[in-house]
Structure 1
């Protein structure tokens, strides 16, 4: 049974269509993880529109959708995710960062209400919403086991570790390094992972101008991978200003430091 991860959107903050982002892609965060018939989606940024079209063309099914957090670039695809409107599907949407201050349905209602959007959130007939507190395993039906960790990001965020058949995929976005307690927890969480998606919004040179914005650097991602024995760090959440040529240069530097390092591309499929 193949365990795989597909990247449907790799850009951070806002979609960035245009000639300078053709090779790596301009859609925002959306992941599809599969093990046989079991599907887990993480985040529903603009990349989820194309993912939804592909899923909608297949036989209806049930699956889980987990949000790292609910900033707009991670949820803006949900109003355009066609399976969510089709009650032949059953989609359980989860968030772990809200800590009782709000609920996931409330957040979605904010972006799907006039005058912001013409279709109300209650039109998402296939979706039910749930919350959890990060920091341990999250029981679910299916082949893929899932555990969680709290990340450092304004308003909170959740990292995910997905495991199947002795292989593991970690999703660490959006996250800012620098809090010793959280950094230790994240290091333990990703220890020995086969694949680690990591928030590489900035470079070390840029980072001092953006301290507190909730993002990390590609250098910190590679460093974490080396320390924690991660086989394949995948640099992700690309700055919307970052061109394909600039990402090529980062890919070359990262691969020199860690032979397994990759820069995430839209459409990339990884098999641990």
Structure 2
């Protein structure tokens, strides 16, 4: 087995929420919307298809033919707007499994990706993509098995619904939780369950507590959380590394530097998500170990 095939790494291609915001004030953290890739034993698991997916796609071109699994948390625009610009999806011989839950209106992830590429909003339809695209329905609370990788899922608290994911392999675990809003009087049990003893927790930290509860412009009910709540979750769940993620487009590099300093003061394992950042998870189990099906139910 090669060195690549026995590693579990997390790559950040887009870390910004709501809208892309390139510019001189966002250079250090990046302006692309959400896309996180987990390379697990030589396999590529991609979470969300924001504009960061385009950057990931360009990096894959020298490696074709390629195969990957793309998981959508939900289909708000900032999480899927990069898909029509995912170049490997247009190349015959590539193979992608695409996962998403049924939306409240009954539409599948395939229907929603198709609809965003219809006239007059986009010049070419989904059907022009020549890669093999296999669409898979996610039921929040039900596990997904990809060979010896176990992907656990749970519903999140977001307008229009969203799904959180936990990837387990060889004793390591990485958790992707965005977009979600915390509760005022208790920690979200679904979030805690997904986060339990994780090596890496990537969490929606769009706002500060002060912004969230601002008397002038509160963000309550908008479907996002704060870095202070992320610290509470990380501490309660026994997380090793907390990744502050889904940066508000109004937060420039200096603002995020300050958030990072405050978060690390409260939780030494906190890091700020940056485009291009790579984190490696230490493996503690035998590479041939298989994972049991979860007993969790939504």
Structure 2 length as normaliser, TM-score? 0.88
Map of 2:142 onto structure 1: 136
User: How big is each residue's C-alpha offset from its partner over 1:160-193, in whole Å with a ceiling of 9 and x where there is no partner?
Assistant: 0001110100001001011779811211221100
Distance of aligned partners of 1:180 and 1:82 in 2 relative to their CA distance in 1, 3 Å threshold: farther
Q: How far off is 1:121 after superposition? A: 1.0
CA distance in 2, matches of 1:97, 1:148: 14
Q: How far off is 1:57 after superposition? A: 1.5
Equivalences, count: 271
Map of 2:33 onto structure 1: 28
Q: Does residue 260 of structure 1 match 2:265?
A: no
Q: How far off is 1:97 after superposition? A: 5.0
CA distance in 2, matches of 1:77, 1:219: 29
Q: Does residue 108 of structure 1 match 2:117?
A: no
Q: Is the contact between residue 7 and residue 42 of structure 2 (CA under 8 Å) also seen in structure 1? A: no
SS in 2 for 1:24: coil
Map of 2:284 onto structure 1: none
Which entry has the higher C-alpha Rg, 1 or 2? 2
State how 1:94-105 maps to structure 2 within 5 Å.
Answer: 94-98=99-103, 101-105=106-110
SS in 2 for 1:155: coil
Map of 2:295 onto structure 1: none
Q: Which structure has greater helix proportion?
A: 1
Gaps of 5+ in 1: none
Map of 1:12 onto structure 2: 17
Q: Does residue 213 of structure 1 match 2:222?
A: yes
Structure 1 length as normaliser, TM-score? 0.96
Gaps of 5+ in 2: 1-5, 282-298
- Which runs of structure 1 show a deviation greater than 3 angstroms over 4 or more consecutive aligned residues? 179-182
Q: Does residue 224 of structure 1 match 2:233?
A: yes
CA distance in 1, matches of 2:178, 2:135: 21
CA distance in 2, matches of 1:181, 1:102: 32
Cα RMSD over matched residues? 1.5
Q: Is the contact between residue 178 and residue 246 of structure 2 (CA under 8 Å) also seen in structure 1? A: yes
User: How big is each residue's C-alpha offset from its partner over 1:201-247, in whole Å with a ceiling of 9 and x where there is no partner?
Assistant: 00000102011110000000011101110011100000000000000
State how 1:1-272 maps to structure 2 within 5 Å.
Answer: 1-98=6-103, 101-126=106-131, 127-141=133-147, 143-178=148-183, 183-208=188-213, 209-272=218-281
